[in-house]
Amino acid sequence: MTPKTCANSKCDTEFTSVYPDKKYCSSTCKNREKSRRHREANPEKTREGLRKWREANLERERERVRKWREANPERNREVNLENDRKWREANPEKARESSRKWREANREKHREISRKRYYEKTRPRGIILDQRLWDMFQRQAFRDPNGLPELAQRVLEWSPARFSQEKHFVLYHGTTERDWLYYIELTPEEATMQWQDEAAQLEAA
């Protein structure tokens, strides 16, 4: 008898049979594959049946979800964050209002979370961003100081979607604002002269 591979897409077990038309290694695989094809062919009916089953078996469903969350904490966190992100994108006004109400009702906790986020995330990432912008400034200065005002303007107009707090740190606490962002007020010719003066002072020091 020639070995066959089970037709169940999640099994793939090799088996032999005296029946040439047999496709599945067991009745369990056959029934599972039949159910899968039915779900794929009737998605709306399947969702409605699942919803009704959950409503009729709330305690079993809650217990199943609880066990899954305990067994998969990282995956559960990822799913929650993704669902929260999708909801906020679909309901921006409600999301802002919900956040505002939560901050008002939890002022101390909000300050604690903000402080922790600043020291553990915003400040370290802001320091890295500040250094990269400073390196960018130096490369531009050595290549063509005339372009420094335009570079400073681009930095100010930059609106990073996920680094707004880091940019705020750079502009108000980093070397970017203190050492060179004032170049935005200079003409290209003045920027070149200013950079030459600063370079000469650095060499003298």
pLDDT tens, 125-163? 999 988 988 888 888 888 888 888 888 888 888 887 778
The Cα angle at residue 137 between residues 136 and 143, in degrees rounded to 5? 90
Mean pLDDT of 79-87: 92
Q: Check residue 12 and give left, alpha or beta (phi > 0: left; psi -120 to 50: alpha).
A: left
At residue 43, does pLDDT exceed 70?
Answer: yes
Mean pLDDT of 22-50: 90
pLDDT of the residue at 205: 58
Contact 197, 190 (CB under 8 A): no
The Cα angle at residue 48 between residues 45 and 51, in degrees rounded to 5? 150
Mean pLDDT of 110-126: 92
At residue 204, does pLDDT exceed 90?
Answer: no
Contact 151, 137 (CB under 8 A): yes
Chain position carrying tokens 């709330």: 58
Q: Which of 23-37, 38-52, 182-196 has the least mean pLDDT? A: 182-196
Mean pLDDT of 31-58: 91
SS (H, E, C) 124-144: HHHHHHHHHHHHHHHHHHHHC
Cβ burial 169-188 (10 Å sphere, 16+ → b, else e): bbbeebebbeebbebbebee
Domain range summary for the chain, segments of one domain joined by +: 31-71, 122-204
Mean pLDDT of 99-110: 92
- Pairwise CA distance, residues 79 & 87, whole Å: 12
pLDDT of the residue at 199: 77
User: With a threshold of 0.75, does the pTM exceed it?
Assistant: no
At residue 177, does pLDDT exceed 70?
Answer: no
